[in-house]
Structure 1
Amino acid sequence: MEGGLHNPWEKLIQPGMVHGSLYSDELIFKEELEKIWFKTWVYVGHESEVPNTNDFVTKSVGPMPVLMVRNQHGEISLLLNRCPHRGNAVCVQHKGNRKSFTCPYHSWTFANDGRLMNYAFPEGYAGTDKSGLGLAKVPRVASYRGFVFASMAQDGPSLEQHLGGARRTLDQACENSPTGELDLSAGFLRHRTRANWKFILENECDGYHPAFVHSSIFSVADSAIGSLYGNDAVAVTRGLGNGHTEVDPRPEFRRRDQPMSWFGTTADKLPEYTAQMNAAYGDERARQIMIDGMPHVMIFPNLFIAEIQIFVIQPVSAVESIQHVTAIQFKDSPEINRRLRQQTMGSVGPAGFLLADDTEMYERNQRGLEIRSPEYLYLKRGEHRERRDDDGFVVGHSTDDLPSREIWKHYRTLMEAC
């Protein structure tokens, strides 16, 4: 089945079934860049990564490198990391503090708000208008609760419209911080995988695999997390609209009725954090927040909040992706932050268990698609027990394929759009 601009999407994406070429066709990948990565809202970074004036970090919109800068005016802007002269990257550092960027090729210098300040041997540019030769900017930048998103489209839905039902999960994450703020400045690990980005997207809220793929870490760590993903689980999967999905474990944690069970501990083992939460929210509300815990949500197309860490998916090609991962930190809460960092390293660090398991599965999936039969992947688990919750969102069992089905519905809508 041929890929490209004239794909019969109704054949490639059918109810509960998707064609294997969607994970490997380079023409489809190029079309995804135009219709998803360069058109919709994409997560870029967090305000806490550039706390001071003139701070910057290198980020990406899809495969395209950008600079997230808190410029001289204290505003966060996103600059495309490409010199207008010959296309060289004007900055190759991962992060730092600069008032300006100088291209290493021909020494064009730009202010950190994008303006061209000067170029080497300026007599060669006599009469040139510099105003149109600055660094290009991402057309639309918006943030919600400190999470910074970008859209390469000049117009379209607002960020809040894009987030829709997923806003609640970002609120939930921030509520777990006594200050109501997260800190994502601990530094990112980068994991490259030979797999299509959508295998990662689907996996993040797939509750069918953990009992098998992650059985070793659950047994070694004596973790109760595995109980969220079994036949008797009361946790649910949910489609939040616009391709956003979640595994919602709150029903299970509320059944346990134990603050900090989500973190595999008890409140008495984190006395400073518990005192901070009680002071911030009052004892009753703090107890409920610490029972519900952090969200497990995949915000389409690239932001995954996995309780104690976040993943950012970066597509590189049709068959290669990078996952950027960092520990979530609660602003001004050193006691729990230390444990958040330790557990993140144990699960997704260079010698961690969890991400190694998943990456092996992604790459096996990708290799498996070289086998041409059957043509379609089967995603119908739990179709018969889908239901609507009180907010009108589609809900299923924690082990159902509902998240994948919701992702592919939204994906098809985007790809069929003009």
Structure 2
Amino acid sequence: MTTKLVDTPVAAKRRRHVANPDDIGSLVQLDRVHGSVYTDPAIFELEMERIFGRAWVFLAHESQITEPGDFFTTHLGRQPVIVCRDKEGAIRVFFNRCTHRGAIVCREAQGNTNRFQCPYHGWIFDTTGRLAGVPYRGAYSDEFLADEGLNLAEVPRVENYRGFIFGCLSDTRVGLVKHMGPLIEGIDGILERAPEGTVSIPVGVHQYEFRGNWKMQIENGMDEYHPPFSHASSVKKGGHQMQRAYGSTDGYKVVRGSEDQEVGYAESYYDIAECHGADYGQAFLTIPDDSRKVDLREESYKTKMIAKLGEDGYEDMFQRTRMSNAVFYPNMILRSTGNVHIRTIQPVAVDHTIIRVWPIQIAGYADHM
């Protein structure tokens, strides 16, 4: 695919970078980033090829497809896919594209079925992706219908790490665990802190979209400068936000200083936050004090965890809990403490992004938590 660049003075200045993709790195300096990184359609196309076409991309959580026949539709980059359990309970990921004329096969967001029927010409595929039915079958030869290429194409690499399902379009030798690196702690930590050892996504999704570049949301996941200002309407006197996590009666403290100070002039409580980078674009945020884990001191929870881990084990777990936001590059942000949730980023165009947020339920938490 060839993307034509608009011939403007700014475009001309950067054309040499796009003409030689290996030189794109020069658009990012230690103290600045060129605006074209967020606005140039040609750079966006390279990102779809080199990032979303090669990296491990988060697709779903296994709790969203618990039974045979359960399915969940999403995107791997710009490719629509179906994540489902076949009749034997195995997890499969198909390209959501009919092998007849390329139409979208499944238009539902989630559900249960024993077959997928293309709404265009009625071709039917079972939950293993096999072509199971063709209207006016007599119009086709048996030899043609025996072609395995008529089955739904599967995403070439799929891995499930403790319930978190990822897919990869390339044949890279980098496995999922190596790709995630230190971000594994984000997933492991949530499961360690679950009294019953499991988590789920049992409820609906908050979906919104914005006219902007997908990287803006990724960067925002590591931005602890903005909360006292962008979220100022949620901050009360004393610097506390409205309650966002059970067990936190006052809400997280996001601004330090006296109650008389206005948010815009107060010292940010997030000055103590620490940002960390890792290989393959991964990044995570840690909060070195106890402000993001007050729920772990809730009495009924504490009693359960001491019974499970012992007093020393519980206290060790509490002290080790530091990771707040884990940015699983390129498309998922896991809030691993406090109001835990999954946030996914779907790039549509260079200036169009869809965000979906699912709250995570931790098995064993008391009802009031």
Q: TM-score, normalised to structure 1's length?
A: 0.73
Cα shift at 1:210: 1.7
SS, match of residue 276 in structure 1: helix
Alignment partners' CA distance in 1, 2:62 and 2:89: 11
Find the counterpart in structure 2 of residue 305 from structure 1: 334
Which of 120, 123, 131 is the equivalent residue of 2:148?
Answer: 131
Find the counterpart in structure 2 of residue 281 from structure 1: 309
Partner amino acid, structure 1, of 2:183:
A
SS, match of residue 279 in structure 2: coil
User: Higher relative contact order at CA 8 Å, sep ≥6: structure 1 or structure 2?
Assistant: 1
Find the counterpart in structure 2 of residue 234 from structure 1: 272
Find the counterpart in structure 2 of residue 342 from structure 1: none
Change beyond 3 A, Cα 1:335–1:289: farther
Partner amino acid, structure 2, of 1:121:
Y
Q: Are 2:219 and 1:202 equivalent residues in the alignment?
A: yes
Find the counterpart in structure 1 of residue 259 from structure 2: none
Alignment partners' CA distance in 1, 2:255 and 2:279: 27
SS, match of residue 45 in structure 1: strand
SS, match of residue 19 in structure 1: coil
The answer (yes or no) to whether the contact 1:311–1:326 under 8 Å persists in 2 is yes
Alignment partners' CA distance in 2, 1:266 and 1:167: 20
Which of 236, 241, 252 is the equivalent residue of 2:289?
Answer: 252
Which of 37, 56, 64 is the equivalent residue of 2:79?
Answer: 64
Identity of matched residues, %: 32
Give the unaligned 5+ runs of structure 1. Answer: 254-260, 340-418
Per mean C-alpha deviation after superposition, the further-off stretch among 7-16 and 229-238 is 229-238
The answer (yes or no) to whether the contact 1:262–1:294 under 8 Å persists in 2 is no
Find the counterpart in structure 2 of residue 44 from structure 1: 59
Q: Are 2:123 and 1:96 equivalent residues in the alignment?
A: no
Q: Are 2:31 and 1:31 equivalent residues in the alignment?
A: no
Alignment partners' CA distance in 2, 1:178 and 1:70: 27
Change beyond 3 A, Cα 1:227–1:242: farther
Which of 171, 179, 202 is the equivalent residue of 1:154?
Answer: 171
The answer (yes or no) to whether the contact 2:253–2:269 under 8 Å persists in 1 is no
The answer (yes or no) to whether the contact 1:237–1:245 under 8 Å persists in 2 is yes
SS, match of residue 53 in structure 1: coil
SS, match of residue 327 in structure 2: strand
Change beyond 3 A, Cα 1:276–1:321: same
SS, match of residue 242 in structure 1: helix
Partner amino acid, structure 2, of 1:132:
G
Cα shift at 1:231: 7.1
Q: Are 2:260 and 1:267 equivalent residues in the alignment?
A: no
* Cα RMSD (Å): 2.2
Partner amino acid, structure 1, of 2:187:
L
Change beyond 3 A, Cα 1:185–1:224: closer
Alignment partners' CA distance in 2, 1:5 and 1:146: 41
Partner amino acid, structure 1, of 2:217:
I
Find the counterpart in structure 2 of residue 15 from structure 1: 30
The answer (yes or no) to whether the contact 1:5–1:27 under 8 Å persists in 2 is no
Alignment partners' CA distance in 2, 1:331 and 1:266: 14
1:117-137 CA-to-partner distances (Å, cap 9, x unmatched) read 121000111231242201111
Alignment partners' CA distance in 2, 1:301 and 1:156: 18
Find the counterpart in structure 1 of residue 232 from structure 2: 215
Q: TM-score, normalised to structure 2's length?
A: 0.82
Which of 90, 99, 104 is the equivalent residue of 1:84?
Answer: 99
Partner amino acid, structure 1, of 2:141:
A
Alignment partners' CA distance in 1, 2:341 and 2:269: 27
Alignment partners' CA distance in 1, 2:297 and 2:270: 26
